[in-house]
């Protein structure tokens, strides 16, 4: 969707072993469509619901603060904050 605000990505660690990025999503903010080149772990810092725009259609993901999850490389999506408050998570990409 045109006109969405971009989520704010702050890289905290970037070395030969991991890339750790904090993501902050204002209401309605998005990452933009991307494909993950590495396996990764997400640690939600806030509760919330994200809209995942994928090649297979839209999906919703419920985040629970402190409840981590793992995904394999190759995931393709646009991540959108689908709620009315900021959503924050830390993503660790495994090299």
- Residue 3: the pLDDT is 82
Structural domain contains residue 90:
yes
Question: Which domain covers residue 15, as residue numbers?
Answer: 8-94
Q: Helices (H) and strands (E) in the chain — how many of each? A: 0, 9
61 is a domain residue: yes
d(CA 18, CA 10): 14
Q: Identify whether 24 is part of a domain.
A: yes
pTM of the model: 0.94
pLDDT of res. 2: 58
Q: Which CATH number do you get for residue 46?
A: 2.60.120.10
Q: Domain for residue 3, yes or no?
A: no
Residue 21 lies in a domain: yes
If one counts the domains in the chain, the total is 1
Residue 70 lies in a domain: yes
Is residue 64 in some structural domain? yes
| pLDDT tens over the chain, length 95 residues | 458 999 999 999 999 999 999 999 999 999 999 999 999 999 999 999 999 999 999 999 999 999 999 999 999 999 999 999 999 999 999 99
Report pLDDT for 16: 97
Matching residue, tokens 């646009």: 78
């Amino acid at each position: 969707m045109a006109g969405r605000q971009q989520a704010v990505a702050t890289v905290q660690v970037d070395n030969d072993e991991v890339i750790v990025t904090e993501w902050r999503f204002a209401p309605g903010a998005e990452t933009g469509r991307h494909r993950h080149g590495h396996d990764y772990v997400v640690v939600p810092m806030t509760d919330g619901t994200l809209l995942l725009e994928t090649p297979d259609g839209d999906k919703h993901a419920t985040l629970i603060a402190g409840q981590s999850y793992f995904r394999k490389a190759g995931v393709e999506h646009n991540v959108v904050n689908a709620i009315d408050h900021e959503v924050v998570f830390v993503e660790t990409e495994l090299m």
